[in-house]
Structures are given as C-alpha cells and as structure tokens.
Amino acid sequence: MSEVPAFVLNVLQYLAYAFIFAIGLAVLWIVVTYFRDKTQTESTLRRNYPVVARFRYFFEHMGEFFRQYFFAQDREEMPFNRAERSWVYRAAKNVDSTVAFGSTRDLRPTGTVYFVNCPFPTLEQDAKGPSAVTVGPYARIPYTTDALFNISGMSYGAISIPAVRALSQGAKKAGIWINTGEGGLSPYHLESGADIVFQIGTGKFGVRKPEGGFDEDKLRAVAAHDAVKMFEIKLSQGAKPGKGGILPGAKVTEDIAEIRGLKVGEDAISPNRHPEVNSVGDLLDMISFVREVTGKPVGFKAVIGAYGFFDDLCEEINKRGPESAPDFVTIDSADGGTGAAPMSLIDNMGMPLRESLPLTVDMLNRHGLRDRIKVCASGKMINPSEVAWAFCAGADFVNSARGFMFALGCIQALQCNKNTCPTGITTHNPKLQYGLDPTSKAERVASYAKNMKKEVSIIAHSCGVAEPRRLKRYHARIVLDNGRSASMADLYPEPQRLDAAE
C-alpha cells in the first residue's frame, strides 16, 4: 500500500488546526454571548434564555422568505400574492400568460369584481386602439396621449439609477409616460426621451428656493425640456396621507443631494403638506401659478378622505371658471405603496380606490366638470382585472408603481427602506445594483405595459366594446354580503348634475 504524500498530510493537519480554532471561537462566542445576554436588561427572553433566545429573531426574520416560497398559497400573501406577481413576471418576460384547468380565484368573497361578457363580443377586425385623450385645454402646450397604463411616481433616490434608466427606456418603447416622483428631474429620466410627468412634492425638490417656496427660474428650466409634458402637485399619497416623503439619509448620495438641494447623508423629510396651501382656493392658485409659469398642464395627486373637499373644490372652480380647474387629478388608494411610512398610516388612513374613484368621478359629473378634469387612478393595480375595473369606474388613465417594480425584477423582499434591496431597484449599493441591467429590464418594462394594454383590451372586447376607455359601470359586477352580485351601475348610479337640478 503506497504512503500518503507529505503535502496531503500537511493539508489535513492545517485543516484540523483550523477546525479546532473554529470550534474554539464558537465556544468563546457562546460564553461571551451567554454573559452578555444574562446581564442585559433590554430583552426578557435573552435574559431568561441566554444564547438560545437569539435564534428566535433569526427564524422570525427568515420566516418571511420561507412563507413566500414554501408555505403560502398562490392567493394568500399581502400586499401582492404569488398569482398576481406571477402574471406580471410572465407579462414582463413576454411569455405565455395562459393557464390550464380553471381559475384558482375565489369569486365568493364580498367585494369581488367580475365582468359581464357580451353575447356578441367585439370582433378583432372591429377592435380599435385606445382613444387619444387631451389634457390641459387651457394650457399653452396641451398634452395628447393614447397611453392607458403609465408609470406612477417613484423618485430617483427611492429607486436607483439603473432602475430609473430601465423604467425611462421601457416607457419610451411602450409609448407611455413616467412620473418622476417628488425627487426632482434627473438626467436618467431624460436619457430615453420618454414622456415625463414632473411631480412637485411638498418639499418642492428641484424647483424650490433655498429658503422655501417656488423658484420660477427652476420651474421654467424643467418645463423647457420637451419630454416634460405635465406637472403633478402631490397633496398626499396612498400609503401615508398626512405625511411627507421620507428618504433615509443612507440613500442620499452626492448626486441625489445635488438634484434635491440637500446635504449628503441628510434625511430627506418633506413637510406633511404644502405650507402655502390652506384651502381649495390656495390649491387652485398654486395650480394656476405653475401652469402660467410652465405653460403645461397641471394637476394634483391626493388620497380621498374628507368627502367635502372635492365638493368644495368643484364649487370654487365653477365660481372662478373652467380655466381655473386642475387639468387632471390622480386619485391614489389607501393601499398604495411607498418605500417608507409609519405603519399607523399605511394600515389605517385614507379611502381605498374601490370607493374613492367612483365617488370622485361622480362628484365631477355632478358639478359638470368631468370633461374638463381628466382622472388618473393609482394604487395596487398591477393585473388586467384591476385596471379594467378602473376604466369601468370612470378613469381616463391608470398608473402603477409596484407593477413596474415587479417588471424590473422586484421579489417583494420588503427591504425598500433599508438600502439593502436584493434586486438593486431601491438601493444605492453598487454591488446590489450590478444585477439590474437597464437595457434588458427596459424590454421587460415595455413588454409589461404592452401586455397590460393587450389583456385589458381583451376584457373590453369580451364585454362588447371596441377599446378599454369605452368600458362602463354596467360591465362590472360586485359580490355583496349575501353572496349575490350587483351591477356597479346600480351601486354607483349616475348622479344628476347640480345645474340641471336647479
């Protein structure tokens, strides 16, 4: 029998020493941790069960991922379940979106929406592309688009450079707009030439004076870009109405600080509202000011809460004249998303879109302003069924943020506020951004938008109309408490105009 070579014996000896050393370190860690846990007073569990109790926190953290991949059913998770995410992934990859053997969706729960098919569906040769909509007839440069499904506000800062680039390039390919979010206009938004909606948050990042308030020169500079088509004043957003934007200092890089007018590493905390807007009159004054300075359509984004707000707004518009009206309103849902917000607001504040969208459309109709003011719907609409419902309810456009994040590769890791996003979307860590290739992800963004338009159109054709903007409330039914359904047209009947009543 041949002898074992000396170098192999040396390697085995070193491995044995390394193993003994590792065991020694482990024992030392256990001893030190034992005494630290036994003497600390912050945690009862660690004090009573030193060392062992630490595994509770590890398993609690890992449970999020085990539930997602191994234990949760296809339609169990929140905020988006596996079935919803899977459709987006397939649409973004432009692969077969058909399923076999029947639906796994339960149609029995109260509030479930389904659509009524027409006995004589629209033939493919009779189908039409989405109709064009003109926003801002009183602006010097109105905006006309046929886009149905657009990219909602996600600021550079909340999301990374590769993510902004991919979204912008994808928007250009799909012929839709991208909203900047409240973080200002970055070079990465402009690179592709996509249509842009510039959002003015309560911090007025990118268009403010150092002491606060609008800087007219900066407003004009933003409007000078042909790609910037509209301006959106953000009053509130779905996940945190009554709270301003929150960008942790860890995500405020030198580039972001320059665009926003901040210091590097400083938390970007926007006021919880525009200080100069104390009434509906003040809001209309701000809209008129921005429209006059920029020459482009101006609207606002809000979560609907107090019912009287919209009635008061419409009454003030009719006193001043239709030219004073916002060119569009974006109605955000109480279950909208965000990178960071207090749980007390995420869970409890504002009205869901299922209630607020039809109410808002009805108020505009009642005051005779529906044709003047275009309506965008936003908040947790990532699949064709939700988007089709919004058009039935009366929306002109639908916007989505999280749907396009899924198209970029988001896995719902819930790390958006920690600069540790594993897919590179909401982090400024170059190592984590490495995997997000803007060129390939732009194709997925475009495919997602195109397939959304295709499948919403399929629903419309099944209902017997030529294109999604012709969907009406009687095309949708909603399941009631008694298990039966009612037409959305009966639940939200067309209101009588106030001037007709007079």
Identify the three-state secondary structure at position 431.
Answer: helix
Quick one: 108 exposed, middle or buried, by C-beta within 10 A (0-12, 13-18, 19+)?
exposed
For residue 325, the number of C-alpha atoms closer than 13 Å in the C-beta half-sphere is 27
Cβ contact 176:168 at 8 Å: no
The whole-number pLDDT of residue 491 equals 93
> DSSP assignment of 131-199, as one string?
PPEEE-TTSSS-EEE---EEEPP--BTTB-HHHHHHHHHHHHHHT-EEE-GGG---HHHHTT--EEEEE
Q: Closest by alpha carbon to 121, among 396, 459, 463?
A: 463
| Token digits of residue 272 | 């919880």
The whole-number pLDDT of residue 264 equals 84
Q: What is the pTM (predicted TM-score) of this model?
A: 0.84
CA distance 292 to 136: 12
Which residue, chain included where needed, has tokens 């990219």? 151
The whole-number pLDDT of residue 2 equals 61
The whole-number pLDDT of residue 78 equals 59
Q: Which residue ranges in the chain fall short of pLDDT 70?
A: 1-4, 57-79, 100-101, 307, 338-341, 499-502
The whole-number pLDDT of residue 97 equals 74
Q: How confident is the model over 156-213, as pLDDT tens digits?
A: 888 999 999 999 999 999 999 999 999 899 999 999 999 999 999 988 998 988 888 8
Query: How far from each other are the two terminal CA atoms of the chain, in whole angstroms?
Result: 111
The whole-number pLDDT of residue 410 equals 86
Which residue, chain included where needed, has tokens 């069924």? 385
Identify the three-state secondary structure at position 362.
Answer: helix
Quick one: 70 exposed, middle or buried, by C-beta within 10 A (0-12, 13-18, 19+)?
exposed
Neighbours of 435 (CB within 10 A): 12
Identify the three-state secondary structure at position 197.
Answer: strand
